[in-house]
Amino acid sequence: MADKYFIEPDVEFIEKLQGLGGDTLKKCFQCATCSVVCPISPDTKPFPRKEMIAASWGLKDRLVGNADIWLCHNCGDCSTMCPRGAKPGDVLGAVRSYAIEEYATPKSLGKMVNDPKMLPVLLLIPAVLFLILGGIIDAAFGVNWLNFSPAGEEISHSKFFNTWLVDLIFVPTSFWVVAIFGLGLSRFMKDIHENALIDGKTDKEKIEAKGFLTALWRILPTILKHKKFSECGENENRATSHMMVFYSFIGLFIVTNCFFFSLYVLQKHGPYPQLCAVKWLANISGIALVIGACLMIKERLSKTDEVSAYKDWYLLIIVLGVGLTGMLTEMTRLGGVAGLSYAMYFVHLVFVFNLFVFLPFSKLAHLVYRTVAMAYAEYVGRK
């Protein structure tokens, strides 16, 4: 006699997915065309057909804790070839958004980041924080933190908004971001391993740290080269814009750490000369970030058949805002327009705060979760 299983659909989960961009999931009639045409789906237990079935039934635990939803790069081949217009790529994108919200804590902040009505609040939070904290420090220690450079002197943003005040905010929050990701990843890895055991994708009783780190090292070239994007057909051109944004973030991360070292270890204060190698890297990365973000927006606008949810536009606006305000801050400084340069610098800090501090709750968190999922697939031999 066949085994019997009791399934209780989570209707609220289904409705949530539909609101996140997966409103077509009920059109799926399980023909498996999506799994057949996907160029990067594994041969055994391929996606996204099984995920579409689970989404239709509201099986939240089998989806949110499923590494396969992150192996999908949303290239669009499955959605284009779907005979029913179920758009599996959009559905899996909605599942990933739900998973990010589920694993990041506090969940109330995650809901704020994904609510368009809360965007003004998210932008006001850092602005008010900077002003209040700066005022408190000024009153307590007499630090001149919000001053313009005298006429005729070189414009210095560190005099207008003290550099160590900025670091006083961003350094602790960096540890906070790492802690949130750490808590989320511990649950995430536990869930994907349990689901893999249930589905027969692995027979390993537990994840061994050494083996997993070795697998992570092996998949780094794939990530750095964006090889999975080039394997996709419909959105192959997305690789260029994604690589520009990806490498610009790496470049700006290196620049930030170099300047941090220069300021606090070497005691060399900015502004730094334009011919400085680190400044060249900063400028090239900034230009690449702006161009890459613009290309992403252009590609999303041209894909009228794909769902563009608020979570997508929030990230694009923040990324473009960081790039544009950063470049304009430097250009106005070099042009000697002090007032505009100081104002632009303040706006730039607001955008950086939104990008960085809310990273575990935004779509950008896929950089972390997808990397871990790809490493896990390599670790268990899921080719």
Q: Note whether 120 and 212 are same-domain residues.
A: yes
Q: Is residue 312 part of a domain?
A: yes
The CATH number for 80's domain is 1.10.1060.10
- Residues near 293 by beta carbon (within 8 Å), at least 6 away in sequence: 241, 245, 316, 319, 320, 323
Backbone angles phi, psi at 85, to 5 degrees: 70, 30
Residue with tokens 């808590």: 183
Q: Note whether 245 and 331 are same-domain residues.
A: yes
Directed axis angle between helix 338-357 and helix 310-334, to 10°? 150
Q: Note whether 67 and 113 are same-domain residues.
A: no
The whole-number pLDDT of residue 8 equals 73
- The tokens for 190 are 């536990």
Determine the length of the chain: 383
Q: Note whether 209 and 254 are same-domain residues.
A: yes
Is the separation of the CB atoms in 133 and 168 below 8 Å? yes
- Residues 208 and 221: their CA atoms lie apart, in Å, by 22
Q: Note whether 151 and 263 are same-domain residues.
A: yes
Q: Is residue 4 part of a domain?
A: no
Q: What is the pLDDT of residues 308-367, one digit of tens each?
A: 788 889 999 999 999 999 999 999 988 888 888 888 988 999 999 999 999 999 999 999
Q: Note whether 129 and 116 are same-domain residues.
A: yes
Is the separation of the CB atoms in 70 and 374 below 8 Å? yes
Q: Is residue 1 part of a domain?
A: no
Single-letter amino acid, residue 23? D
Is the separation of the CB atoms in 201 and 382 below 8 Å? yes
Q: Is residue 223 part of a domain?
A: yes
SS3 state at 290:
helix
Q: Note whether 117 and 99 are same-domain residues.
A: no
Ordered DSSP codes for 314-369: HHHHHHHHHHHHHHHHHHHHHTT-HHHHHHHHHHHHHHHHHHHHTGGGSGGGHHHH
Q: Note whether 39 and 140 are same-domain residues.
A: no
Domain end marker among 57, 86, 104: 104
Q: What is the pLDDT of residues 194-215, one digit of tens each?
A: 988 888 888 888 899 999 999 9
Nearest to 71 by CA among 87, 48, 105, 97: 48
Q: Note whether 168 and 97 are same-domain residues.
A: no
- Cβ-in-10-Å burial (0-12, 13-18, 19+) of 291 comes to middle
Directed axis angle between helix 366-379 and helix 88-103, to 10°? 100
Nearest to 100 by CA among 349, 315, 383, 317: 315
- The tokens for 16 are 């949530």
Total number of domains in the chain: 2
- Residues near 335 by beta carbon (within 8 Å), at least 6 away in sequence: 341
Please tell me what DSSP assigns to residue 271: P
- Domain span holding position 23: 11-104
Cis bond upstream, residue 106 (ω within 30)? yes
Q: Note whether 128 and 76 are same-domain residues.
A: no
Query: Going residue by residue through the chain (383 aa), what tens digit of pLDDT does each one get?
Result: 455 556 677 888 888 888 888 888 889 888 889 888 888 888 888 889 999 988 988 888 888 989 999 998 888 888 888 898 888 888 999 999 999 999 998 988 888 888 889 999 999 999 888 888 777 766 665 555 555 555 556 777 776 777 777 788 888 899 999 999 999 999 999 999 998 888 888 888 889 999 999 999 999 998 988 888 777 766 667 788 899 999 999 999 999 898 888 878 888 876 777 788 888 999 999 999 999 999 999 988 887 767 778 888 999 999 999 999 999 999 998 888 888 888 898 899 999 999 999 999 999 999 999 999 999 999 988 77
- Residues near 136 by beta carbon (within 8 Å), at least 6 away in sequence: none
- Residues 270 and 261: their CA atoms lie apart, in Å, by 12
Q: Helix and strand tally (H, E) in the chain?
A: 18, 0
Q: Note whether 61 and 207 are same-domain residues.
A: no
- Residues 194 and 200: their CA atoms lie apart, in Å, by 10
Nearest to 55 by CA among 107, 102, 101, 20: 20
Please tell me what DSSP assigns to residue 21: I
- Residues 164 and 145: their CA atoms lie apart, in Å, by 10
Q: Is residue 6 part of a domain?
A: no
Q: How many CA atoms lie within 13 A of 112 on its CB side?
A: 19
